[in-house]
Chains A and B, each alone.
Chain A
């Protein structure tokens, strides 16, 4: 289970991730860790990072000004909206500077929790509470993903064996949508389509080669066209 941290201060992000790691160690949790990143200038690239890293819970700074290779113009809650389009059930925790900013209050995106930095830094008990909540949320997400993946594996086997019914095909589509994976059969179909086209082209090439050989023969040339 990974805790993902996006913050425009790498100093801060590193410190927070270390706090998480130390907490995991202190609590005897061995299968969890924290990872961090600066916000990406390309908003979508952040989602790629989340997916690639298998982040299960996101801790996000509301004020994001500085990113990799430059400054970003979107705020935390705007990034959340984008993430929701791809991963609707990702648990997200937003950190704010002072009190909750107006912009955040008015945002329509569903954010699990909004906490101020002071909640995190000023009181050890508060911090413990928050870390627990974050880890729990991450675990919930992780477990649900694991369940979906094993279900997917079972269903995929059935499709490969040709024993899946329509309900089960439907279910695969649902899971696919939930976890954002394209249907394997679609990719196959498109590749198959490409093979058929290639076949037809080869046939046409053969025909042409035969026609050319005939013409040459008539002219008195005796050649054999190599067919590759």
Chain B
């Protein structure tokens, strides 16, 4: 007689228990079975407060006949999937190993399965797994209760005529809120988030946290800033974008790039593992990439909160691979090996900000799905273990394809963002305010955390304490940053003042050339007059007097330059601005006289607490600006300087400087305040000017919360600069 292996009853339990990681995975396996059965809907019920707690999974798949049940489902290791790879509904079935059914054991000791297939009556089986957990029993010797007739009846899902129900009792594990959340997340990430979700939906009903009940779905997919569709076929990559970078949805029509060019984008030398692989062999691959900006912009008009978005991204960000619409782990998961594209390292290597051309996406900003198929991409094969694909040339080619698509996305974003260049000047929050807001937020967060910490039982608050410590560390960091910022701002102020001195000294210094020539020439004339025989003393005297006069002009420039750097200028004191401005005008008068420019003051008393250096800087930069403007035009040259109180949103005053120049071209009215922008030209049209003077003025005005304006002076005809500052 032929002998045969006998199988211990315990073995089947071992197979199940050893290969199913946890109860979430176990439930997921049951969902997969429903999927393979062409179910359109699955309902999961987890009821722990019932007199008999249970988990039930009901689907409206094709169900099983008595024969299916006894010959297939009870046949361990049998997988119909090996013979019929595609479900009647056209789904490529998920697994091949035929032990997924054992996951029920992981969930509870008892299983009642009922099923109804088209054209057949309902059937069922009642299994108590613990019966198998005995020594010395052959698996064939354990009898199972079969169900039929009324005992096999169960509630089908609405509008369904077929389906299967698994009812699991004597639950082996308690279900907590976090387990429910994990389940939802597992299922939601198991399902391809993009395609044909309506074909397969999973609902949950639980009594641990009823707020989580309902259809499992991810509502955040529409919040992507960029939605990119890519496909690779026959060596050609075609792609299109839909983005909301400008605030409105903009579709960029289909473009294409050949495989060779794409490789070059990824690897500058086109050499990578798999570069010899014939891309036509790979087959058709599709890719969908969703890019998210992790800030409030994304969630502005939706019901999803920023923390929800971040939560979803924290869990689901990554580029996943779906084979026949089923997730292939670990790609795109949170495990270390999940970052199969090396996005984190890529970002670290070049952390350029989003406005720079070399900007790269961060790993937690992309939700992606690569769609491959067993039939369409036969070169992509399972690795030996249960997870992942074999790292062969085809796999590396796939990787290159996805990386190339990412680069195209990054380029697209950069180009579109530059098109949309929005000046944020008015919306810019000044750093000081930003830090204050942050500090307040952090300290309130810390006190909230402390409150919560008190609720946690002793010994369990370790992680929490770590979090509180982290927040405290951040707060310290913020304090240091605030100090640094203050130092920077002080430095900026001094540099501003020095720059102004430099600019005005250079401008007026230029003027001093003439008096220097005058002095030199007068001295020569004096000498000649004295050397001649007989000496002409009256000429000598006249020339000496002229020399003295010119030398005084030179000296006044020295006085002007030195007085600018006096220490008192850099303290905030209460000043009568009229005195300050008068002093400056007096000091600069000789320079204007040389060029025949008349300066007309119209100064009223204004007292305010201010840095004298800042007021000097504003006035001098405006004066040198007007000085240049006057030079270019002939005729009467005048500069008018006005100081008077003027109340706007607060009590304040205006400093107005106007001239008889050509005025500011309408086109440049906003540009003139920018650094290094200068329209100054000399008589011959050559460009002069540093482009810094007005930039300094606007930075001071901004710091004081003042206002600035340029228009045409009705009297003088040239530019009129009006600066309003509040009184402190």
Q: What's the dominant secondary structure at chain B's contact region?
A: helix
Q: A71-B595, A73-B683 are in contact. Are A23 and B518 (CB under 8 A)?
A: no
Q: Within 8 Å of chain B (Cβ to Cβ): is A19?
A: yes
Query: Known contacts A22-B528, A70-B634: does B596 contact A15 (CB below 8 Å)?
Result: no
Question: 8 Å CB contacts to B: which residues of A101-133?
Answer: 102-103, 117, 120-122, 127
Asked if A98 is at the interface (CB within 8 A of a chain B CB), the reply is yes
Known: A41-B634, A65-B595, A75-B683. A12 touches B517 (CB 8 A): yes
B552 to chain A, nearest CB (A): 12
Q: A15-B546, A73-B683 are in contact. List 4 more A-B contacts (CB 8 A).
A: A15-B524, A73-B632, A75-B683, A127-B524
**Are A19 and B631 touching (Cβ within 8 A)?**
no
* Residue of A41, A66, A72 most packed against chain B (CB within 10 A): A66
Some 22 contacts from A to B, beta carbons below 8 A apart, are A11-B549, A11-B550, A14-B546, A15-B518, A15-B546, A19-B524, A19-B525, A22-B529, A65-B631, A66-B596, A71-B633, A71-B635, A71-B637, A73-B634, A75-B684, A97-B513, A102-B684, A103-B683, A117-B521, A120-B521, A121-B517, A127-B524
B635:A70 contact, CB within 8 angstroms: yes
Contact B514 A18 (CB under 8 A): no
Partner of A121, one of B524, B528, B595, B637: B524
B532: interface (CB < 8 Å): yes
Rounded to whole Å, the gap between the CB of B578 and the closest CB of chain A is 29
Indicate the member of B517, B543, B635, B686 with the most A CB atoms within 10 Å. B517
B521 touches A15 (CB 8 A): yes
Given A25-B532, A73-B634: A9 and B524 interface contact (C-beta under 8 Å): no
Closest 6 CB pairs of A and B: A73-B634, A121-B520, A103-B684, A15-B521, A66-B596, A22-B528
Which chain B residues (493-545) contact chain A, with CB distance < 8 Å?
513-514, 517-518, 520-522, 524-525, 528-529, 532, 536, 539, 543
Which chain A residues lie closer than 8 Å to B684 at the CB level?
75, 102-103
Query: Which residues of chain B come closer than 8 Å to A179, judged between CB atoms?
Result: none
Tell me whether B636 is interfacial, beta carbon within 8 Å.
Answer: yes
Q: How far is the CA of A122 from the CA of B516 in the complex (A)?
A: 12
CA distance in complex: A105, B565 (Å): 39
Could you tell me if A18 and B529 are in contact, using CB atoms closer than 8 angstroms? Answer: yes
Look across to chain B and name the residue whose beta carbon is closest to the beta carbon of A127: B524
CA distance A120 to B543 in the complex (A): 16
CA distance A23 to B595 in the complex (A): 31
Contact of B513 among A41, A72, A98, A122 (CB under 8 A): A98
The residue in chain B whose Cβ has the minimal distance to the Cβ of A12 is B518
Mark each residue of chain B from 674 to 692: 1 if its CB lies under 8 Å from any CB of chain A, else 0: 0000000001101000000
A98 partner residues in chain B, CB cutoff 8 A: 513
- Interface members, chain A 62-83 (any B CB < 8 Å): 65-66, 70-73, 75
The verdict on A16 contacting chain B, using a C-beta distance below 8 Å, is yes
Partner of B532, one of A9, A11, A12, A22: A22
A85 within 8 A of B: no
- For B522, the chain A residues whose CB sits under 8 A away are 11, 15
Q: How many residues belonging to B are interface residues under a CB distance threshold of 8 Å?
A: 31
Q: A12 to B634, Cβ gap below 8 A?
A: no
A96 to B521, CA, bound (A): 14
On chain B, the residues within 8 Å of A66 by CB distance are 594-596
**For B536, what are the chain A residues with a Cβ–Cβ distance below 8 Å?**
22
**Measured CA separation A97–B529 after assembly (Å):** 25
Question: Which label, helix, strand, loop or mixed, suits the secondary structure of the A interface?
Answer: helix
Cα of A22 to Cα of B632 in the assembled complex, Å: 37
CB neighbours (8 Å) of B637 from chain A are: 71
Q: Are B634 and A15 in contact (CB under 8 A)?
A: no
Shortest distance between the CB of A66 and any CB in chain B (Å)? 4
- Enumerate chain B residues within 8 angstroms of A73, measured Cβ to Cβ: 632-634, 683
The reply to whether A18 and B518 form a contact with Cβ atoms under 8 Å apart is no
| Contact (Cβ within 8 A) B514 A9 | yes
Residues in B with CB closer than 8 Å to A25 are: 532
Note all chain B residues with C-beta closer than 8 A to A218: none
B595 touches A16 (CB 8 A): no
Whole-angstrom distance between the alpha carbons of A31 and B529 in the complex?
19
Interface residues of A in 200-224 (CB under 8 A from B): none
Answer whether residue A227 sits at the interface, using C-beta atoms and an 8 A cutoff. Answer: no
Complex Cα–Cα for A142 and B517 (A): 30
CB of B191, distance to nearest CB on chain A (Å): 73
In angstroms, Cα B518 to Cα A66, docked, is 15
Contact call A19/B521, Cβ cutoff below 8 A: yes
Nearest Cβ distance between residue A209 and chain B, in whole angstroms? Answer: 56
Within the complex, which residue of A9, A22, A72, A127 is in contact with B518, where a contact is CB–CB below 8 Å? A9
A-facing mask of B608-648, CB < 8 A → 1, else 0? 00000000000000000000000111111100000000000
Q: Give the CA-CA distance A71 to B596 in the complex, in Å.
A: 7
Q: Which B residues are in CB contact (< 8 Å) with A191? A: none
Residues of chain A contacted by B633 (CB below 8 angstroms): 71, 73
Q: Which residues on the B side are within 8 Å of A102 (C-beta)?
A: 684, 686
- C-alpha spacing A117/B521, complex, angstroms: 9
**Closest residue of B by beta carbon distance from A25:** B532
Alpha-carbon distance between A75 and B685 when the two chains are bound, in angstroms: 12
- A203 to B581 alpha-carbon distance, docked (Å): 78
Q: Which residue of A lies closest to B523 (CB)?
A: A121
Task: Enumerate A1-47 residues with CB–CB distance to B below 8 Å.
Answer: 9, 11-12, 14-16, 18-19, 22-23, 25-26, 41
Q: In the complex, what residues of B have CB within 8 A of residue A65's CB? A: 595-596, 631
CB distance from B518 to the nearest CB of A (A): 5
Cα(A11)–Cα(B525), bound, Å: 11
- 8 Å CB contact of B636 from A12, A70, A122: A70
A41 and B634 CA atoms in complex are apart in Å by 9
* Nearest CB in chain A to that of B634: its residue: A73
User: In the complex, A222 Cα to B693 Cα: how many Å?
Assistant: 92
Which residues on A sit within 8 Å (CB–CB) of B632?
73
Question: How far apart sit A14 and B514, CA to CA, in the bound complex (Å)?
Answer: 14
Least CB distance from A142 to B in Å reads 24
Contact indicator A70/B528 (Cβ below 8 Å): no
In the assembled complex, the Cα of A100 lies from the Cα of B594 at a distance in Å of: 21
* A98 CA / B539 CA spacing, docked (Å): 28
By a CB distance below 8 angstroms, the chain B residues around A103 are: 683-684, 686
Min Cβ gap B596→A in Å is 4
Which chain A residue lies CB-closest to B660?
Answer: A71
- In the complex, A121 Cα to B636 Cα: how many Å? 32
Query: What's the minimum C-beta distance from B535 to chain A, rounded to whole angstroms?
Result: 10
B525 touches which of A18, A72, A75, A122 (Cβ 8 Å): A18
A22: chain B residues at CB < 8 Å are: 525, 528-529, 532, 536, 539
* Chain A residue contacts of B596, Cβ below 8 A: 65-66, 70-71
In the assembled complex, the CB of B592 is this many whole angstroms from the nearest CB of chain A, namely: 11
Chain A positions within 8 Å of B549 at CB level: 11
**Does B543 lie within 8 Å of A72, measured CB to CB?**
no
For residue B631, which residues in chain A have a CB less than 8 angstroms away from its CB? 65
- In the complex the two chains form, what is the Cα distance from A192 to B536 in whole Å? 56
Measured CA separation A96–B561 after assembly (Å): 26
Nearest residue, chain A, Cβ from B632: A73
In the complex, which residues of chain A have a beta carbon less than 8 angstroms from the beta carbon of B595? 65-66, 71
Contacts A22-B532, A71-B634 given; does A11 touch B518 at CB 8 Å: yes
Using CB atoms, name the residue of chain B closest to A72: B634
Chain B residues near A71 (CB-CB < 8 A): 595-596, 633-637
Q: Contact: B528 with A19, CB < 8 Å?
A: yes
Could you tell me the distance in whole angstroms from the C-beta of B3 to the nearest C-beta in chain A?
109
Q: What separation, in Å, do the CA atoms of A11 and B549 have in the docked complex?
A: 10
| Set of chain B residues within 8 Å of A117, measured between Cβ atoms | 517, 520-521
Chain A contacts of B550 at CB under 8 A? 11
Q: How far is the CB of B529 from chain A (nearest CB, A)?
A: 6
